[in-house]
Structure 1
Amino acid sequence: MIRNVLATSSFPESVLELRDLLNTYLEPDRVAVILRAFEVGARAHEGQTRKTGEPYIMHPVAVARILANLRMDHQSVAAAILHDTIEDTPLTKGEIADQFGDEIAALVDGVTKLDKMKFRTRHEADAESFRKMLLAMSRDLRVIFIKLADRLHNMRTLGSMSPDSRRRIARETLDIYAPIADRLGMNTLKSELEDLGFAHRHPWRHRTIAEHVQEVTGDRREVIETIRKALKRKMSEVGVPCRVLGREKTPYSIYRKMQSRDLSFSEVTDVYGFRVITHSEPHCYMALGAAHALHQPKPGRFKDYIALPKANGYQSLHTVLSSPYGLPVEIQIRTEEMDITAEKGAAAHWQYKSGESSSVSAQVRAREWLMQLVDVQRHTGDSMEFLDGAKSDLFPDDIFVFTPKGKIIDLRRNATALDFAYAIHTDVGNHTSAILVDKVEVPLSTHLAHGQTVEVVTSADAHPVPEWLDFVATAKARTAIRHYIRSLEQKDTVALGMHLLETALNARGTSVTDVPQNLIDGLVADNHFERHEDLYTNLALGNLLAGVVAAKLAPDSTSTDGAAEALTIAGLEGSAVEFAACCYPVPGDPIVGFVSAGKGVVVHRANCRNMRELRKHPDRCLVVQWAPLTHGMYRVALRLVTRNVPGVLASLTATLNEAGTNIERVEQPESNPETATLNFTISVEDRDHMARVMRRLRRNRNVLKVSRIIA
């Protein structure tokens, strides 16, 4: 039960103004909770000041005022007033919960930074804070509303900070917070965050553009008002009830346009536009027809975000007209409800658990995006990787494509057909074997375009390969592919370690199944491993020797003279097996394995010069053989002596391409006026393929000699 608050006369003027604003939409008992939060916060922050010199509590009050202007619920506004108490005062989450309930305490905790934790770098701390913030957002979307309001007020008062701090905070605002506000459809906050971030990061550029905008607007004021009145008159003629508003572009949006299109300021003429706000969706399309009847529309500049809303729930019709004044006229047409959503986004008409609303609402779309991020972070190894991936998805220059059943899937621009498969579901992406775009099969790396219909064909035998990482564009796809490859490599490494131990035990006349479980458990404990898999992984990586481990597990057994079982190499072992760069073995070559500490099994050609030294360590040498069927491409080094004539390298490249091989590396160690020596590292399937490549090279009229490089 909230006790009576202090007499209103004891509140600062800013709090009284906040109270008056809250009274316009909240019940008195809920306003009382917020005023009580001010009392508690003021006591907790007593004696603390900001760099501006004002009492610290004025900052949380200002944050609360921003949320009140968005007509947020009383829990959000109360949490905003208390949002820095856990971090900066002795007040605890438990004490807040006792006085205000678990819901407000959870919101305060959700926006608390991690400054008290120890990190190796500031970037890592920022990344971990970002991860925590997004996870808190996924539990309650109001956390990010408070965080954005907090950042906005900090940006408004950034002038008291040092120049380096201003630039760093401004960059962070432009990189993370403004894009999040955009992703949540909160255009009012986004625009101010962007413009303040731009002003503090590039003050001269911001000031110059702002001055130019003021000059241009002043020069065109009469023309702009003439166009606005003509638009309003035309709407009245066709019976469209509406408001017509002028819309001036911000310095940052002009700067971004100048950068992206490589334009000068004089070429960015559409610094002013118009917004037509009407009553219903049919009125929007009537208004569009009226606008096109007034002035000729520019081809290719019409966008229907009502039929196909943006990923953040934004809906509007966009068109550009050619006016008789030589100015392009940008027009946005939307309903009153669409306008509220466009300005406030997921915070519009806030109701807790608003996921029950329409499937196209900004709140639901925001939750869907957050759930995708939660899924991504589950499979991401560290905070920096997660932050980089999330940031890449925070600039959603979106495209819209369709499933065969007509469902709309929004993807970031440059997304590929494989990104679409992962957007459907991670399992679909992992088992993609083919993709049809508008019923035509395309490569998985094909970039998608607006309006295409995409169908994914899956197969139980299909699985991610490292090459997929070279072309996917979304964080979800990249994270899923990396997670699969890491898990596969872990399985391969464990399997190799088990094979090495089994082989070593077989040589002593026993096997893993014959070893008492308590001996294996003891060995795992003695080496401070958490799991048996850690033992096998260290055996595979050469950090433990299989022969030594076998002797400990079977001390009473003696080595036999029987031939050890060969390790079969098929090319599917991933990081568990490495092919020596000194001799580049390929399928068909006689080979030997060597267990190298930290690397695992390194495969050499049997006649590699380095094996003379390596054989001095027989406990690390392995019997290995090629599988009957191998997979993948293998590097091989060739030395070519050629005529030293113009165009010889182009000629050799064409010959290698015809032979079906890829060039990995080219070096020219020596040359003279008549000849040149070139060392090529190429990839082949096996010895037969290598022989075909060498024969084709010898038929090239510029090639005098071809030989394989031996270490």
Structure 2
Amino acid sequence: MISADDLIALVRTYNPKTNEQLIRAAYDYGGLMHEGQFRHSGEPYFSHPVTVAAILTEQQLDDATIITALLHDTIEDTKASFSSVSEMFGTEIAMLVDSVTKLTNLQLNSTETKQAENFRKLFMAMSKDMRVILVKLADRLHNMRTIKSMRPDKQVQKARETMDIYAPLAGRMGMQWMREELEDLAFRVLNPEGRSSIMRRFVLLQRETGDVIQKITGDMRAELKKAGIKAEVYGRAKKPYSIWRKMQEKELSFSRLSDIYGFRVITDSEDDVYRTLGTIHQRWFAVPGRFKDYVSQPKTNGYRSIHTTVSGRDGKRVEVQIRTRQMHDVAETGVAAHWSYRDGKRSQNPFAVDPSKWIAQLTEQFDSEENHEDFLEAVKLEMYSDQVFCFTPKGEVVKLPRGATPIDFAYAIHTRIGNACVGAKIDGMRVPLWTRVKNGQSVEVITAEGQTPQTTWLEIATTGKARTAIRRSLREADRDRFIKLGRELARSAFGQLGKKATDKALSTAAKHLRLTDADEVLARLGSAELTGREVVTAIYPDLSPKEGKAVDSRRAVIGLGKGQSFKRAACCEPLPGERIIGITFRGQGVMVHAIDCARLASFEESPERWIDLHWHDGTHAAEYGATLQMTIGNDAGVLGRICTLIGETGANISDLHFVDRKPDFYRLLIYVELRDASHLHSLMRVLEAENEVATIERYRDTATSEPDGTQSRPH
């Protein structure tokens, strides 16, 4: 494990004014908090945060980011709290650590609805401070480098998540080196045979052709020297996963794949970039259609470079990237270049993109998406697609994902232009709307008054913005008809459960489906964008016990010492599935609190009494009490129906207390016994949908403390 002195030395190489004392304090505090914890490999756990911090020094990041890396797991996995980190290291670092903790808890590979919501949270965290995602990416990189110590099933899960989410995100942020390494590490897990095959063929190719990279590099250096251009030339073979992906996309065998070598030329000035391009094209044949000028048309993350592919020595195709040193720094670290330090102060790289502006551009179209499917589609298109640059007839540049059509072009200009589109011209020639636009083409949209989007456009459009606008227009055109049809479908779907599709029930469904109102639910139901089952499930999810091993309630908590017993604190009534902390009481065992319980603040001066606990996985019996505070109508039979509903969900009422009685309503506390937190949320959703229920919320009492640390219920 890297020592504190070595880590500080790494920071000092680019930031001589670093706060060594604060970094050392964070190193010592992190080591103390993680003492006794070990990784799957058997190494001390603290070696992981230290390595993450070291990875971030390679990007020359500021002290706050390095310290956040050292502490990024303390709030999540130790007895450290936000307040203690804030007190010792300041609010800025505490906020960063807390944000990284929240990102760690996001399940980005979960179901589509939850995944979309978690992506929203991810972008919100990035918009507040880009350094949060930089720490998270470095954290994922080290975890992937050491993934072999995990269970095989966990390796596959983490590798898939890395390939689908974190690697593309690193690429979208301009950190291409990290994207390539993450992809290759994930590829090693997901397809070890494929990777080994690529590596074997590389070895065979080198035996047959010798060191091609050294030969071509020498040729380029000689040509540039002859032209009087001062530049550095580097060559490398492309990563195994990059080669594998090209083989799959182009359906070519390894022997037919040509551009498996890449070369990079770094010049002193922008003028030399174009002089170098001319020199290379004079010496070698340029491959048509493989030229991109990201110097005059930079990517949104600040990336600038000339890309060209030429037929090199022995006819082998090689890709050449040409850029200046400052462009290269941004190309290596992407938006992280904005945070890079030189000689103790923020570096002034003119090509580095301000993260706040970058994330604003990235999230601009996402904010307009109406539902989780459109949002997720927009996110993935933005993250995973390469871009093409097209021009309007006036010469304005329009950036689109690869594979876009004139329909996408029209909606990128304005929704009104897209809706009225009847045709398009590319480079002056009339083309079908399904034509794929290419780099450098000029696109003219032909419109007509009275035109409206057609259903077939959904199959033509590729961007989230275009598809969302088309769906919205189609829905509005047939909205009344869809609402009427949707109401009949809802009545049938609810009737199968013996329920009624009331306005209150539909409004509740809209809330949980992230839609605007009940009419929107009915319109989407009538247009087949939602099924009756999805609407019903939004209110009445399957509450039957989950399959899996039953958990003994006496051993429901993991983390207790030998012979220790536990009690659930009555103040917060923690349920299985919620994060918990234990407080020891001499002679009385351990009192289990929810992690957000206000009562925990009274034990902050006694950290030795804190125990990190978590619930057993599996199926728990419905015997964990929780309190609901409800306001219901004062009508005959209402309370009976509420009790019946609670019983139908598999919960049990253990007590009931009226807080307030009025002529038109009751306010009461109901004590129910549940399986876990998911059971609680499902029950509250079912009750919320009932017309007679005005309000419902979980009730926690922190007012009265008993000698053993529990709270008494109000009576």
Q: Which interval holds the TM-score relative to the shorter structure?
A: 0.5 to 0.7
- Look up the equivalent residue of 2:46 and give its one-letter code: I
Which residue in 1 is equivalent to 2:353? 363
3-state secondary structure, aligned to 1:307: coil
- The 3 A distance-change label for structure 1 pair 13 and 448 is closer
Say if 2:37 is the partner of 1:48: yes
Of 373-382 and 398-407, the range deviating more from structure 2: 373-382
Match of 1:83 among 72, 78, 100: 72
- Equivalent residues in 2 for 1:470-509 (5 A)? 470-482=459-471
Q: Give the Cα–Cα distance (whole angstroms) in 2 for the partners of residues 480 and 355 of structure 1.
A: 42
- Equivalent residues in 2 for 1:513-592 (5 A)? none
- The 3 A distance-change label for structure 1 pair 108 and 472 is farther
Q: Give the Cα–Cα distance (whole angstroms) in 2 for the partners of residues 410 and 71 of structure 1.
A: 31
Say if 2:23 is the partner of 1:34: yes
Q: Give the Cα–Cα distance (whole angstroms) in 1 for the partners of residues 527 and 404 of structure 2.
A: 33
Q: Give the Cα–Cα distance (whole angstroms) in 1 for the partners of residues 98 and 473 of structure 2.
A: 34
Match of 1:217 among 202, 206, 220: 206
Match of 1:373 among 363, 371, 376: 363
- Look up the equivalent residue of 2:205 and give its one-letter code: V
- Look up the equivalent residue of 2:61 and give its one-letter code: M
Contact 1:25 1:71 in 2 (8 A): yes
Match of 1:392 among 377, 381, 404: 381
CA-atom RMSD in angstroms: 4.1
Q: Give the Cα–Cα distance (whole angstroms) in 1 for the partners of residues 340 and 142 of structure 2.
A: 24
- Look up the equivalent residue of 2:293 and give its one-letter code: D
Which residue in 2 is equivalent to 1:279? 268
- Look up the equivalent residue of 1:371 and give its one-letter code: Q
- Deviation string 1:468-527 (CA, Å, 9 cap, x unpaired) is 3222111233334445656777777789999xxxxxxxxxxxxxxxxxxxxxxxxx9995
- The 3 A distance-change label for structure 1 pair 278 and 134 is same
3-state secondary structure, aligned to 1:452: coil
Contact 2:263 2:319 in 1 (8 A): yes
Which residue in 2 is equivalent to 1:240? 229
3-state secondary structure, aligned to 2:339: coil
Contact 1:175 1:391 in 2 (8 A): no
- The 3 A distance-change label for structure 1 pair 76 and 258 is same
- The 3 A distance-change label for structure 1 pair 332 and 56 is same
Match of 1:191 among 165, 177, 180: 180
Which residue in 2 is equivalent to 1:207? 196
- Look up the equivalent residue of 2:224 and give its one-letter code: M
Q: Give the Cα–Cα distance (whole angstroms) in 1 for the partners of residues 292 and 103 of structure 2.
A: 43
Contact 1:186 1:345 in 2 (8 A): yes
Which residue in 2 is equivalent to 1:63? 52
Higher RCO, 1 or 2 (CA under 8 Å, sep at least 6)?
A: 2
- Deviation string 1:282-313 (CA, Å, 9 cap, x unpaired) is 21222222223333334444333323334543
Which residue in 2 is equivalent to 1:92? 81
Which residue in 2 is equivalent to 1:511? none
- Equivalent residues in 2 for 1:276-425 (5 A)? 276-350=265-339, 361=351, 363=353, 367-368=357-358, 371-382=361-372, 386-425=375-414
Contact 1:376 1:479 in 2 (8 A): no
Which residue in 1 is equivalent to 2:101? 112
- Deviation string 1:67-125 (CA, Å, 9 cap, x unpaired) is 11001122222222222233223333344333333332332233224777999966665
- Look up the equivalent residue of 1:190 and give its one-letter code: R
Contact 1:113 1:129 in 2 (8 A): no
- The 3 A distance-change label for structure 1 pair 425 and 61 is farther
Q: Give the Cα–Cα distance (whole angstroms) in 2 for the partners of residues 275 and 206 of structure 1.
A: 24
- The 3 A distance-change label for structure 1 pair 53 and 379 is same
The structural deviation recorded for 1:240 is 0.3
Q: Give the Cα–Cα distance (whole angstroms) in 2 for the partners of residues 119 and 333 of structure 1.
A: 36
- The 3 A distance-change label for structure 1 pair 278 and 268 is same
- Equivalent residues in 2 for 1:607-618 (5 A)? none
Contact 1:313 1:365 in 2 (8 A): no
Percent of aligned pairs sharing the same letter: 42
Q: Give the Cα–Cα distance (whole angstroms) in 2 for the partners of residues 324 and 184 of structure 1.
A: 34
Which residue in 2 is equivalent to 1:255? 244
TM-score, scaled to structure 2:
0.62
Contact 1:134 1:370 in 2 (8 A): no
- Look up the equivalent residue of 2:169 and give its one-letter code: I
- Deviation string 1:402-458 (CA, Å, 9 cap, x unpaired) is 234433221111112232233335565456576554466666544322222335577
The structural deviation recorded for 1:244 is 1.7
Structure 1: which 5+ residue stretches go unaligned? 1-11, 499-523, 543-572, 579-596, 599-711
- The 3 A distance-change label for structure 1 pair 136 and 407 is farther
Contact 2:26 2:71 in 1 (8 A): yes
- Equivalent residues in 2 for 1:590-609 (5 A)? none
Contact 1:489 1:575 in 2 (8 A): no
Contact 2:427 2:442 in 1 (8 A): yes
- Look up the equivalent residue of 2:305 and give its one-letter code: S
Which residue in 1 is equivalent to 2:254? 265
Of 478-487 and 38-47, the range deviating more from structure 2: 478-487
Say if 2:216 is the partner of 1:227: yes
Of 267-276 and 459-468, the range deviating more from structure 2: 459-468
Contact 1:155 1:197 in 2 (8 A): yes
Match of 2:161 among 169, 172, 179: 172
Which residue in 1 is equivalent to 2:596? none
Q: Give the Cα–Cα distance (whole angstroms) in 1 for the partners of residues 294 and 527 of structure 2.
A: 52
Say if 2:132 is the partner of 1:143: yes
Contact 1:60 1:82 in 2 (8 A): yes
Structure 2: which 5+ residue stretches go unaligned? 488-500, 529-534, 537-715
Of 482-491 and 324-333, the range deviating more from structure 2: 482-491
Which residue in 2 is equivalent to 1:701? none
The structural deviation recorded for 1:317 is 2.5
Q: Give the Cα–Cα distance (whole angstroms) in 1 for the partners of residues 314 and 462 of structure 2.
A: 42
Contact 2:389 2:398 in 1 (8 A): yes
Contact 1:62 1:153 in 2 (8 A): yes
Q: Give the Cα–Cα distance (whole angstroms) in 1 for the partners of residues 472 and 75 of structure 2.
A: 36
- The 3 A distance-change label for structure 1 pair 473 and 355 is farther
- Look up the equivalent residue of 1:373 and give its one-letter code: T
Which residue in 2 is equivalent to 1:131? 120
Contact 1:78 1:104 in 2 (8 A): yes
Q: Give the Cα–Cα distance (whole angstroms) in 2 for the partners of residues 199 and 403 of structure 1.
A: 44
- Look up the equivalent residue of 1:350 and give its one-letter code: W
- The 3 A distance-change label for structure 1 pair 448 and 326 is closer
3-state secondary structure, aligned to 2:266: strand
State the aligned residue count: 509
3-state secondary structure, aligned to 2:186: helix
The structural deviation recorded for 1:206 is 1.0
Contact 1:83 1:111 in 2 (8 A): yes
The structural deviation recorded for 1:461 is 5.9
Q: Give the Cα–Cα distance (whole angstroms) in 1 for the partners of residues 502 and 257 of structure 2.
A: 69
- Look up the equivalent residue of 1:204 and give its one-letter code: E
Contact 1:379 1:480 in 2 (8 A): no
Contact 1:34 1:74 in 2 (8 A): yes
Contact 1:354 1:364 in 2 (8 A): no
Q: Give the Cα–Cα distance (whole angstroms) in 2 for the partners of residues 271 and 217 of structure 1.
A: 12
The structural deviation recorded for 1:246 is 1.9
3-state secondary structure, aligned to 1:321: strand
Of 243-252 and 438-447, the range deviating more from structure 2: 438-447
Which residue in 1 is equivalent to 2:682? none
Contact 1:492 1:574 in 2 (8 A): no
3-state secondary structure, aligned to 1:235: helix
